[in-house]
Amino acid sequence: MYKIVGVGKAKPGKVREAIAASKGLAEYMNSKHDVKVQVHLQQFGPPGTIYLIGEAKDLASIQAIQGKIMADEGYWTLVQKSVEVMEPPTIALLQQL
């Protein structure tokens, strides 16, 4: 099992908008690409830190999803909305041991 974790920070004064953009992107991925993506807001530490956490059973699944989203204009439209309200995220791929 793998987890893909994206950690981004809302731009100043844009926390609500960043949460909405993140939730919109997660809902789109869940419905359009049949993946499980959750959105979490960090409770302590820098304000407005948002985590998008997705799951995949194996690397082949991740590669297949990447291929689909690269060609998905709807996905890129939502990414562009996120860029307006969030700093670029850090992405990590975690493997369950």
Predicted local distance difference test score (pLDDT) of residue 60: 93
Please say if the pLDDT value at position 34 is more than 90.
no
Q: Judge whether 62 and 80 are in contact, CB under 8 Å.
A: no
**At the top level of CATH, which class does the domain 2-95 belong to?**
alpha beta
Delimit the domains of the chain by residue range: 2-95
Mean pLDDT across the chain? 94
Tokens of 74: 């709807």
Query: pLDDT band for position 58 (50/70/90)?
Result: very high
Place of tokens 């820098």: 46
Tokens of 78: 């939502």
Q: Is 16 helix (H, G, I), strand (E, B) or coil?
A: helix
**Over residues 3-14, mean pLDDT:** 96
| DSSP single-letter state for residue 39 | E
